[in-house]
A = this chain, B = another copy of it.
């Protein structure tokens, strides 16, 4: 199943308690693609300025990314800089310069329009809708969003959700979107707006998939070394959808496995700055954490005798 990804292609400057990185590769489309191409090829649509070091994305092409949908325009690339708190639980945005991203109008190349899976990174829901008007009946439309759009573009966002099959969102945002602090009720509310499934990302606590009448939990991989949480959510989405594309199925078994792969790829992403943790990641390393995830969650059900008390 072919994947189309539309999102930001940015330069980030990030400070964490463990160091800093200046003008490194970032943006939702970049993190997603670095993750998803570990499993499957990806068609990417975005925009960059004259300053963007596109050659640094060559490794993505070599593992199946088609970057021909990334437009280069006159001007600066989208730039974000932020600083994380000592425990990495919060971050302050120091600077945002939209650059050429301010006038981004996704144009989906004809050869991308038949993608079976579409991932809409966290951009203006008007643009996300615009992308859906350009593609031909994909099997899976998955999208991310954030507090900025939930507050400022609620109506458009709700219109978008009617056309989304899987909403991938973090826990604070889904509570805000649904106006309900109870996660289960918040996810069920979202499902009433259109999405068949909701994937709630919970940082170090992992993620939960809310499907029609079942749900699935995957923990966050326990790490001694978290260097940079930037992009972890997009890396999760990339691992999740990349695995589903490879499996070619939305069976409950494949959805569960996709959740685990999402968490694995997210865990490798945060161990280094930018997408560095995903550049040389091998199937062997991915498999190793898969086995560890199984050991950390599997148990035998010793049910109680019904007259034991």
Contact B299 A216, beta carbon cutoff 8 Å: yes
CB of A224 closer than 8 Å to a CB of B? yes
- Which of chain B's residues has its CB closest to A181's CB? B87
In the bound complex, CA of A219 to CA of B208 (Å): 10
A68 to chain B, nearest CB (A): 21
Question: Which parts of A55-100 form the interface with B (CB within 8 Å)?
Answer: 63, 86-89
Please, which residues of chain B bring their CB within 8 A of the CB of A103? none
**A303 and B282 contacting across the interface, CB-CB below 8 Å:** no
Of the residues B223, B283, B295, contact of A304 by C-beta under 8 Å: B283
Chain A contacts with B in 204-220, Cβ cutoff 8 A: 204-206, 208, 214-217, 219
Number of copies: 2
Q: B257 near A215 (CB under 8 angstroms)?
A: no
The docked-state distance in angstroms from the alpha carbon of A208 to that of B219 is 10
Tell me which residues from 273 to 309 in chain A have a Cβ below 8 Å from any Cβ of chain B.
Answer: 282-284, 286-287, 290-291, 294-309
Whether a CB of chain B sits under 8 angstroms from the CB of A38 is yes
Looking at the assembled complex, report how far the CB atom of A247 sits from the nearest CB atom of chain B, in whole angstroms.
Answer: 7
Taken residue by residue from 176 to 204, chain A's Cβ proximity to chain B (1 for < 8 Å, 0 otherwise) reads as 00000111110000000000000000101
Known: A296-B217, A299-B216. A183 touches B87 (CB 8 A): no
Query: For the complex, is A248 an interface residue (Cβ under 8 Å from B)?
Result: no
- Do A182 and B224 touch (CB < 8 A)? yes
User: Chain A, interface size: which category?
Assistant: 35 or more
Contact A214 B257 (CB under 8 A): no
The distance in angstroms between the C-alpha atoms of A63 and B86, with both chains bound, is 48
Contact in complex: A253, B217 (CB < 8 Å) = no
Whether, in the assembled complex, A226 has its beta carbon less than 8 Å from a beta carbon of chain B, the answer is yes
Check A309–B63 contact: CB distance below 8 A: yes
Nearest opposing residue in chain B for A180, CB measure? B87
Most buried by B among A89, A175, A287: A287
Q: How far is the CB of A16 from chain B (nearest CB, A)?
A: 12
Minimal beta-carbon separation of A259 from chain B (angstroms): 8
Given contacts A206-B217, A214-B295, A283-B308, list 15 more A-B pairs with CB under 8 A: A39-B304, A185-B224, A202-B205, A208-B219, A215-B222, A216-B297, A253-B299, A253-B300, A256-B300, A257-B300, A286-B304, A287-B303, A287-B304, A291-B303, A297-B299
Nearest 7 A/B pairs, CB to CB: A87-B181, A256-B299, A217-B219, A205-B205, A283-B304, A184-B222, A287-B303
**Which A residues have a C-beta under 8 Å from some C-beta of B?**
37-39, 63, 86-89, 175, 181-185, 202, 204-206, 208, 214-217, 219, 222-224, 226, 246-247, 253-254, 256-257, 259-260, 282-284, 286-287, 290-291, 294-309
